[in-house]
Structure 1
Amino acid sequence: MLNLDRTLERPGATLRFALLDGDRRTVVLVHGAGMDHSMFTAQALALHRAGHQVVAYDQRGHGGSRLDPGIRFTGAAALDDLAALLDHLGLDRPALVGHSLGGNVAQALVRRDPSRAGALVVADSTWNTGPLSRGERTALRLAAPALSLIPASRLPGMLARASAATPDAVATTEAMFARMPKRSFLDVWRATVAFVDPDPDYRVPVPLGLVRGELDRTGNIATAMPEWAQVEGIDEHLIAGAGHVVTLDAPEATTTALLDLLASVPRA
C-alpha cells in the first residue's frame, strides 16, 4: 500500500492521494468500485521503477477518501474529482489507467474532454458507449435491487468470490469490500451503471489499451471488451488465470501488459 500523504478538498469530500515522481509519462491510476488505490500497488511501484510519474488516489467514499456527512457517492462527482485532481497537479495529458468503475470514470473524462488524457488504459470495465442487448439493459436495471436483497454480512464475501480468482486476491478483495457500508456500495454500483451511455458512432480519440482477466464473468465485460477492441481496431490484452480484479489475481502479467501499452504510446 502506498502512503497517501496528500489531500485535495472537494465539494462534499476529501481526497487522499500519492504522487511518485518520475521523468517519463505521468500515469494516473483509478481504482474500481469498493476497492482503493492499493489494488494498484504492484503496478504503481513497477511504473515508478520504470521512470514514470505515478498518481494513485482513493475515490471519494473509498479507502482514505471520506465523504462529508450526508453526502452520497455519485458518478458525476467522481468524474469531477478526477478532473480536479489533474488540475490540482497541473498534469498535461497523462495516461489514465482505470479498473472497473475507475475505467468508467476515465472513459467518461476522455469522452467529455479528450484533451485531458494522452492515453487511456481500461482494465476489466464495461464499455461506456457500447451497444446493449435487451437482456443486458434488463440486467443493469435489476442489479442494484438484487444486490439490496443480500444481507450486508454476506455481500462482501459474495462479491469478492465473484470478482477474484486466486485465494489471496479473494481475501484482499473481501477485506476492502467489507469496509464500505452496504448503502454506500449500492450508491457506487448505481453510479457505475449510470456511466453506460451507448453511442454507436463514438470512437476513443486518444491511444487506447484494453486489459481483461481471462476468467472475468462480471456484468457483460467478457463480451463487451472483445467487441470494443474489434470496433477500435486494437488487440485486447487477455490475462490468463485472472478474474475481474486482474491487478491482484495476476499482478506481474498485468504490470507487463500495462508497461507494454504505455511504451507503445508516443509522448505528446
Structure 2
Amino acid sequence: MRISLGDVSLWFDVSGPSVLPQGDTTVERPVLVAVHGGPGLDHMTVKPALEPLAADLQILYFDLRGHGRSDRSSAESWNMRTWADDLRRLCDALGLGKPVVLGSSFGGDVALTYAALFPDHPGGIILANTTGGHWDDPRGIEAFGRVGGPEAAAVIERVRTYRRDGAAADAEDLQAEFIRVCYPLYSVTPGWAEESRRFQARMIRNPDVAAHYDTHEVLSFDPWSLLGAVRCPVLVLAGEDDPVCPLPVVEELAGQLPADTTRLVRLPGARHTIFRDRPDLTFPAVKTFVAQIGESHHAS
C-alpha cells in the first residue's frame, strides 16, 4: 500500500488486525510503528524480527523516503530531520494519535530525532539495538574485536574511515568484506548466516542513499544534540554483546534521556539481533511498554 504525504509517497504494510471481535463487541488492538535499519535498506530489516508481536499488536511497517518501495525523492531530502518529519506526517495521515514508535538500529536514530523534534507527538518510543546516531564511537571497533577478533576490528576501522572521509576506491570490496567478516557476528543464535542471507536477498537496497548519508549528512547532525527535548516515555533495549551498538554507548544515551520516563533493558547474551537472540526478554518488554502507554493515554 502507498500513501501520499504531498511531496512524497511512502509505501507501508501492516501485520495483524487492528480490531478483533469479542463477544457482542469489538476490541481495538494497539499499533506499533516500526522504523527499519539502514541507511539504504528497507523494512525487511525489521519485519522478520518483529512478526511474532503481531499476535498481540498491529505492526505498521514502512519504507523511509529514498528506501525500498517508497519514492526515492531527491538526495537533499535524505537526512534525519526529513525522515523524522515524514514519520510524523505518516502517523497523522493514518490517524495514529500518540503513536508508539520502535526504531531498530539506524531506525532508532530516526525515532529519537522524531521524538526530539516533535516532543508532543509520540506516545512513546522504543530504541532497539541502536546508539541513536553515535556510530563512530571507537568502542565499536573494540566490541567487534571482542566477538570477531583482529580481522573484524580491522574491517570496522576501515568502514568507519570510509564513512568519515568519503568515497574510497575499493568501496565495493569493503562492503563485501564487511558482509563476509562482520555481518555473521550480528547474532549468536544458530542459523543466522542462512537466515540473514535470505532476508538480504529479499531486501530492496538503495546504495545511493547510504553513500549520500554517510558522506554528506552523518557528520552534520547528531540526534544526541536534541536529547533534552525528548519528553515521551522511552524504552531502550540493548544487547550486552552487541558489537554494532556497544552497551556502554547505549548506557550513555539512556543516561542523557529523562530519568523518570526512560527504562533501559540490558539483554544478556544478545548481540545486534536482539529479537532473535533474546525473544524471551525483548517481546515481553515491548508488549508491557505498549500496554502502559495505552493505559496512560486512556487515563488522560
What band does the TM-score fall into relative to the shorter chain? Answer: 0.7 to 0.9
* TM-aligned CA distance change 1:205 to 1:230, over 3 Å: same
1:104–1:192 contact (8 Å) kept in structure 2: no
* TM-aligned CA distance change 1:56 to 1:66, over 3 Å: same
SS of equivalent residue, structure 1 residue 244: coil
Please tell me the residue identity of whatever aligns with 1:238. R
2:119–2:231 contact (8 Å) kept in structure 1: yes
Moved more, 250-259 or 145-154: 145-154
Query: What is the TM-score of this pair, normalised by structure 2?
Result: 0.69
* Corresponding residue for residue 209 of structure 1: 235
* TM-aligned CA distance change 1:24 to 1:64, over 3 Å: same
TM-aligned CA deviation for residue 116 of structure 1: 1.2
* Corresponding residue for residue 163 of structure 2: 144
* TM-aligned CA distance change 1:195 to 1:244, over 3 Å: farther
* Corresponding residue for residue 90 of structure 1: 95
Supply the distance in 1 between the matched residues of 2:84 and 2:281 (Cα, whole angstroms).
Answer: 28
TM-aligned CA deviation for residue 85 of structure 1: 0.7
TM-aligned CA deviation for residue 31 of structure 1: 1.0
* Corresponding residue for residue 236 of structure 1: 264
Q: Deviations over 1:157-204 (max 9, x none)?
A: 155235444464445546539853544322344545554144497163
TM-aligned CA deviation for residue 240 of structure 1: 2.9
* Corresponding residue for residue 176 of structure 1: 200
* Corresponding residue for residue 10 of structure 2: 15
* TM-aligned CA distance change 1:109 to 1:66, over 3 Å: same
Query: What is the TM-score of this pair, normalised by structure 1?
Result: 0.76
2:5–2:93 contact (8 Å) kept in structure 1: no
Supply the distance in 2 between the matched residues of 1:179 and 1:148 (Cα, whole angstroms).
Answer: 22
Q: Deviations over 1:39-72 (max 9, x none)?
A: 333564433322x332111223333324147777
Please tell me the residue identity of whatever aligns with 2:273. V
SS of equivalent residue, structure 2 residue 9: strand
1:101–1:192 contact (8 Å) kept in structure 2: no
1:116 and 2:121 matched: yes
2:131–2:253 contact (8 Å) kept in structure 1: no
Larger radius of gyration: 2
| Residue in structure 1 matching 2:251, options 210, 226, 234 | 226
* TM-aligned CA distance change 1:207 to 1:66, over 3 Å: same
Unmatched tracts of structure 2, length 5 or more: 20-27, 141-156
The aligned runs of 1:182-201 (5 Å cut-off) are: 182-189=207-214, 191=217, 194-199=220-225
| Residue in structure 2 matching 1:46, options 52, 57, 60 | 52
* Corresponding residue for residue 3 of structure 1: none
SS of equivalent residue, structure 1 residue 93: coil
* Corresponding residue for residue 254 of structure 1: 282
* Corresponding residue for residue 35 of structure 2: 30
Moved more, 93-102 or 251-260: 251-260
SS of equivalent residue, structure 2 residue 131: coil
Supply the distance in 2 between the matched residues of 1:142 and 1:8 (Cα, whole angstroms).
Answer: 38
TM-aligned CA deviation for residue 217 of structure 1: 1.9
